[in-house]
Amino acid sequence: MLEFKKVTFQYEGADHPLIENLSFSIEKGTFTSIIGASGSGKSTIFRLLNGLEHIRSGEILLEGKDISGMKNFCSYMPQNDLLLPWSTVEKNVCLPMRIQGVKKAQQKEIAARMLDLVGLGDVADKYPRELSGGMRQRVAFARTLCAGSDLLLLDEPFSALDYLTRISLQEWLLDQWMKLNKTILFITHDVEEALFLSKEIYVVADRPVRRMERYEVPMDYPRTREMLIRSEIQELKEELIRKMREGDERIRKVRGPRLPRKG
Amino acid sequence: MMKKKMYGLAFGLCLLLLWQGIAMAIDAAYILPSPIQVFKHLAENLPELMLVHFPITMRVVCIGTLISITLGLFLAVLMNLSLPLEKAIYPVLVFSQTIPVICLAPVFVLWLGYTEKMRVFLVVVMSFFSITVNVFDGFKAVRKENRELLKTYGGDRWQELIYLQVPTALPYFFTSLKVGVPWAIVAASVAEWFGAPGGLGNYSRIRMMSLDAAGLLAPLVIISVTALVFMALIRGLEGLVVTWMK
């Protein structure tokens, strides 16, 4: 579905490229995580996909077509919920559709459907300040779904939440993904989270990012937390942590005193 | 809360008593009238002050404030949409505020004569700046992450203005009104000192010429109360509009 072909990218003012000749691909309908240490460049991959940054060379292809010039082909969910405090939950969820010029009646109908889907149909008229952290993230997820594309980019969406809320939202997200038939690309630095959710995991462990090591998670869906204690999963976990540590050391050696952006 | 207000009221009362005491000691109402003399003058002349002079001043305040809001918002939007315009206008605006505008009132009289236009002009010059600068700062206070998210939905500059910047700037706008409106009332009164057919400032000036200090100060009480009423109205409106800041 999604393919990076020899992509090179450099931030303005940076001395070296952050990404160089990077190639990888994501299959349709999969749940894929990208993990790596802070500052490794994983968020930059999302910024290239959602049009906030532009590649220097190479190609990013979606269903075989170059994404430059394409609109609304992916829906982005950032780390913070970024709900607008002056708008009700329903209006927040409608925001991507308002931007895209969807008719009001249709907006309301889709928003109601999405809020029902995330189990928050009864809070449509409430304001974000009246919701808990977990509920706010679910509203943000409903908003992401309302952007209407099949490729979801989730950038550490649960990292700001407490542990119990985080694990319950991970289970909830997995459940949503199995119902929705969407392709999810998920960024995290939490190895266990990546293992629990993903079919495959890419590790960013280079600077510049020239390749990402790919690991397949040997677990079937539906998943339970108990599956994580299997010996092969534990071994994979140790391997991923080791790779991330190596990557972190390499990045520390290479990178200068200042990083232009997070990621 | 009540206790805090009680302290303020008690201190205010003490100051009034002090003023009363000093005025009684000096015993020269043409130099320092006592608060009782000021309030007595106010009570005796209230119909004339409120029915003749107050509407003249308020008309200038209202017209001037409306023009200030329109001009202030227009400039803020203009600077927000164009970086070259921001760079051209913003420093000039800031510099213009180092000029004591009230001292330029005689120049405005030269340009526009002793007219209502001159008085409105002074009100506008005194109050639009705070609206422009505050609203512009409000526009800039939108979080970068929110702007980027809107961009990922395909949002353009105008959509960013409508969906993010205007709501973010609303509390800033109300703050600017809380600063700007009292200034507008002061400016309208000062403009009347230079020449006007009536108005609270004009009333003060005439009383000053006849050494009636109590009559000079009486309109100031009305001006202060009016400023307080305006502030309360703005706060009330803010509470109704900016509900998410509660």
Closest residue to B167, CB basis, from A78, A84, A96:
A84
Give me the count of residues in chain A.
263
Chain A to chain B Cβ contacts (< 8 Å): 50
Contact yes or no for B153 and A95 at CB 8 A: yes
Provide the domain count of chain B: 1
Q: Domain range holding A192?
A: 2-73+150-254
Percent of chain A with pLDDT over 70: 97
Q: Does A85 touch chain B (CB under 8 A)?
A: yes
- One domain for residues A168 and A224: yes
Task: Determine the pLDDT at residue A256.
Answer: 55
Model confidence at A91, in pLDDT bands (50, 70, 90)?
very high
Model confidence at A68, in pLDDT bands (50, 70, 90)?
confident
Task: Determine the pLDDT at residue A263.
Answer: 45
- One domain for residues A178 and A87: no
DSSP states along B54-109: HHHHHHHHHHHHHHHHHHHHHHHHHHHH-HHHHHHHHHHHHHHTTS-GGGGHHHHH
- One domain for residues A220 and A181: yes
User: Does the structure show a pLDDT above 60 at B74?
Assistant: yes
Q: Does B235 touch chain A (CB under 8 A)?
A: no
Q: Which of A148, A178, A201 is the last residue of a domain?
A: A148
Model confidence at B1, in pLDDT bands (50, 70, 90)?
low
- One domain for residues A156 and A238: yes
- Average pLDDT of chain B, as a whole number: 91
Task: Determine the pLDDT at residue A123.
Answer: 94
Task: Determine the pLDDT at residue A166.
Answer: 86
Model confidence at B14, in pLDDT bands (50, 70, 90)?
very high
3-state secondary structure of B116: helix
Per CB-CB distance under 8 Å, the chain A contacts of B244 are 85-86, 127, 129
Which whole number is the average pLDDT over B26-48? 90
Higher pLDDT, B62 or A72: B62
Q: Does B171 touch chain A (CB under 8 A)?
A: no
Task: Determine the pLDDT at residue A46.
Answer: 92
Question: In the numeric block, which tokens belong to residue B24?
Answer: 């009684």
Higher pLDDT, A41 or A90: A90
Distance from CA of B215 to the nearest CA of A (A): 48
> Do residues B72 and B131 make contact, with C-beta atoms less than 8 angstroms apart?
yes
Provide the domain count of chain A: 2
Q: Which CATH number belongs to the domain containing residue B70 in this structure?
A: 1.10.3720.10
Inside any domain, residue B10: no
Model confidence at A258, in pLDDT bands (50, 70, 90)?
very low
Contact yes or no for B149 and A82 at CB 8 A: yes
Inside any domain, residue A142: yes
User: Does the structure show a pLDDT above 90 at B98?
Assistant: no
Q: Domain range holding B202?
A: 37-245
Distances (CA, A) of A173 to A33, A134, A179, A197, B80: 13, 12, 10, 8, 39
pLDDT tens digits for range B188-212: 998 998 878 899 999 999 998 888 8
Inside any domain, residue A229: yes
Model confidence at A257, in pLDDT bands (50, 70, 90)?
very low
Task: Determine the pLDDT at residue B236.
Answer: 95
Q: Which CATH number belongs to the domain containing residue A69 in this structure?
A: 3.40.50.300
Inside any domain, residue B239: yes
Whether this model's ipTM surpasses 0.85 comes out as yes
DSSP states along B170-221: HHHHHHHHHHHHHHHHHHHHHHHHH--SSSHHHHHHHHHHTT-HHHHHHHHH
Which whole number is the average pLDDT over B53-70? 95
- One domain for residues A119 and A174: no
Inside any domain, residue A263: no
Question: In the numeric block, which tokens belong to residue A135?
Answer: 């509920």
Adjacent-strand bridge partners of A2: A26, A62
Side by side, which strands form the sheet with A151-155? A74-77, A151-155, A183-188, A31-36, A200-204, A212-216
Percent of chain A with pLDDT over 90: 61
Degrees, nearest 5: CA angle B204-B205-B211: 85
d(Cα A102, Cα A112) in Å, to the nearest integer? 15
Which whole number is the average pLDDT over A27-53? 90
Percent of chain B with pLDDT over 90: 68
- Residue whose entry in the numeric block shows the structure tokens 């395909």: B154
pLDDT tens digits for range A190-216: 999 999 999 999 999 888 899 899 999
Inside any domain, residue B90: yes
Q: Which of A93, A115, A148 is the last residue of a domain?
A: A148
User: Does the structure show a pLDDT above 50 at B158?
Assistant: yes
- One domain for residues A62 and A34: yes
3-state secondary structure of A213: strand
Q: Which helix (H) or strand (E) holds B226?
A: helix B213-241
3-state secondary structure of A118: coil
Whether a cis peptide bond, with omega within 30° of 0, leads into A208 is: yes
- One domain for residues A52 and A159: yes
Helices B116-140 and B105-112 sit at what angle, rounded to 10 degrees?
120
d(Cα B33, Cα B15) in Å, to the nearest integer? 14
Within A120-190, residue ranges assigned H as helices are 133-146, 163-180
User: Does the structure show a pLDDT above 90 at B5?
Assistant: no
Per CB-CB distance under 8 Å, the chain B contacts of A147 are 152-153
Helices B213-241 and B35-48 sit at what angle, rounded to 10 degrees?
70
Which whole number is the average pLDDT over B154-166? 94
